[in-house]
């Protein structure tokens, strides 16, 4: 299977348009992601009590997105979109606990062809963290990995390239420290790196470090939730400080975001709804790119999305990207350089009604730890997801159940296909109505029809990918 993937990588990276030319070497890449942090769950977006001094400083120093979107309103799919530049339904990652397909080309595999060392640290949630799995981080292109099945809390057991290892410390800091060790090693060798740091905070259950929770003791039921965000903020500060200490901050792109919108009754969202919703509150998340060597500090209202990370990073790494696997994201290099004034390609979203798959990290990691202590390196083989590459079902290419949306800024069209096979349409002007409260499809009938056609054409394309038709053309 990996031979097929390697061949596909070579084909994809030799078939596209050459990236920009520059005298400086390609930058290091540090991708950082929170788990369940909504758009408003940072001080710089106006949270009344939350302390996030490091994210505030990063936002002030970099390119801050006012409208950055998670590819999906729950976790695993958005993480798959970061890895591939594709909507997660294209490879069957419908909801939490679903995996990548080994046929997909990941950002780690792409950058390895450009000479990068690659590392993953923290929450994985795209497959197994056991040895021999076709969907562990190593099988997805990472040279070094210290990873969790799912969200994880303080003093975690994590998998170091398949070996369960007990750690002590605040959960986000454990991942940051491992990433810093990796980055120092690569810097000493003058080796460009991709470091992916995916925190498990502020996913519930919330268990902040005592000193972080103490900052919010007057906030009712929120001290541990808010404290977890302050903990991850401190870990971000540690990462940024390490880059300065290594004197590589001007040569490193740091991209920060979250995997979906905020938590109900706890988080602060940037619109209607919250996690699991296709409305703005379930999709709109913090987004910052910091690169002192190239990015002038500023705020942009141009929409961008998790799927843009892959094509942007591929271009910055001076590889090539082709169209055997259709990408939903676009390169934001023109935006980084101040040459983009609007987004021409709309953003598509689709929350398919297929449910999630439970992957309890604490339980499974403890069991793997115990199995390895007794001499069994693999552990429970049913958790390897050995059938991840199999395409077991074909989906109708003219029926699109669930809730989808088409964001052609400032207009956003919703398509709500319910269990009774009835389709409802809703249109909103996000510039005037970020809460999506005033429905305009009847007043804007011509626009609605055009956007309906565009959205359903995109949904058909996604379904063709889901059915495996992309892979047939890249063999």
State the sign of the Cα–Cα–Cα–Cα dihedral 244, 36, 79, 145. positive
Q: Give the Cα separation of 350 and 333 in Å (integer).
A: 26
Q: Of these residues, 72, 75, 352, 414, which one is catalytic?
A: 75
Instruction: Provide the strand spans (E) within 220-312.
Output: 252-258, 284-285, 287-290, 298-300, 304-305
136-154 per-residue burial string, b: 16 or more CB within 10 A, e: under 16? bbbbbbbbbbbbbbbbbbb
Q: Give the Cα separation of 140 and 148 in Å (integer).
A: 15
| Distances in whole angstroms, Cα of residue 144 to Cα of each of 5, 181, 255 | 19, 11, 20
In the residue annotation, 305 being an active-site residue is answered as: no
Q: Which residues contact 92 (CB under 8 A, 6 or more apart)?
A: 98, 101, 391, 466
In the residue annotation, 87 being an active-site residue is answered as: no
CB atoms within 10 A of CB 219: 16
Q: Of these residues, 87, 120, 125, 417, which one is catalytic?
A: 125
R_g (Cα) of the chain, nearest Å: 21
76-90 per-residue burial string, b: 16 or more CB within 10 A, e: under 16? bbbbbbbbbbbbbbb
CA 266 to chain centroid: 21
Q: Torsions phi, psi of 420, nearest 5?
A: -90, 10
Q: Give the Cα separation of 466 and 474 in Å (integer).
A: 15
- Catalytic site positions: 75, 125
């Amino acid at each position: 299977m990996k031979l097929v993937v390697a061949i596909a990588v070579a084909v994809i990276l030799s078939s596209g348009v050459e990236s920009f030319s520059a005298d400086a070497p390609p930058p290091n890449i540090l991708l950082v992601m929170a788990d369940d942090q909504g758009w408003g769950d940072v001080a710089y977006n106006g949270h009344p009590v939350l302390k996030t001094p490091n994210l505030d400083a990063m936002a002030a120093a970099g390119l801050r997105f006012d409208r950055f979107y998670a590819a999906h309103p729950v976790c695993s799919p958005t993480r798959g979109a970061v890895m591939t530049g594709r909507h997660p339904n294209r490879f069957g990652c419908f909801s939490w606990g679903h995996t990548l397909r080994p046929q997909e080309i990941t950002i780690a595999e792409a950058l390895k062809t450009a000479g990068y060392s690659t590392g993953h640290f923290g929450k994985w949630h795209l497959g197994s963290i056991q040895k021999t799995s076709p969907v562990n981080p190593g099988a997805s292109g990472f040279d070094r990995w210290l990873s969790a099945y799912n969200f994880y809390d303080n003093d975690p057991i994590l998998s170091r390239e398949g070996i369960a290892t007990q750690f002590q410390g605040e959960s986000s800091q454990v991942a940051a420290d491992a990433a810093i060790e990796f980055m120092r090693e690569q810097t000493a060798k003058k080796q460009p790196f991709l470091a992916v740091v995916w925190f498990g905070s502020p996913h519930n259950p919330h268990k902040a470090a005592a000193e972080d929770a103490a900052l919010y003791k007057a906030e009712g039921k929120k001290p541990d939730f808010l404290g977890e965000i302050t903990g991850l903020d401190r870990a971000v500060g540690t990462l940024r400080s390490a880059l300065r200490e290594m004197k590589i901050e001007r040569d490193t792109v740091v991209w920060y975001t979250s995997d979906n919108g905020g938590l109900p009754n706890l988080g602060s969202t940037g619109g209607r709804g919250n996690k699991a919703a296709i409305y703005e509150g379930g999709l709109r998340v913090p987004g910052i790119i910091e690169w002192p060597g190239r990015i002038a500090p500023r705020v942009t209202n141009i929409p961008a999305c998790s799927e843009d990370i892959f094509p942007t990073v591929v271009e910055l790494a001076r590889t090539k990207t082709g169209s055997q696997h259709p990408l939903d994201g676009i390169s934001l290099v023109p935006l980084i350089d101040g040459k983009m004034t609007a987004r021409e390609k709309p953003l598509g979203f689709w929350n398919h009604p297929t449910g999630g798959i439970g992957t309890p990290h604490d339980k499974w990691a403890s069991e793997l730890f115990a199995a390895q202590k007794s001499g069994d390196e693999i552990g429970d083989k049913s958790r390897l997801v050995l059938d991840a590459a199999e395409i077991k079902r074909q989906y109708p290419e003219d029926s699109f159940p669930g809730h989808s949306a088409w964001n052609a800024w400032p207009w956003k069209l919703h398509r709500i296909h319910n269990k009774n096979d009835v389709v409802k349409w809703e249109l909103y002007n996000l510039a005037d109505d970020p809460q999506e409260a005033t429905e305009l499809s009847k007043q804007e009938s011509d626009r609605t029809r055009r956007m309906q056609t565009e959205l359903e054409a995109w949904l058909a394309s996604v379904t063709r990918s889901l059915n495996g038709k992309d892979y047939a053309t890249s063999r």
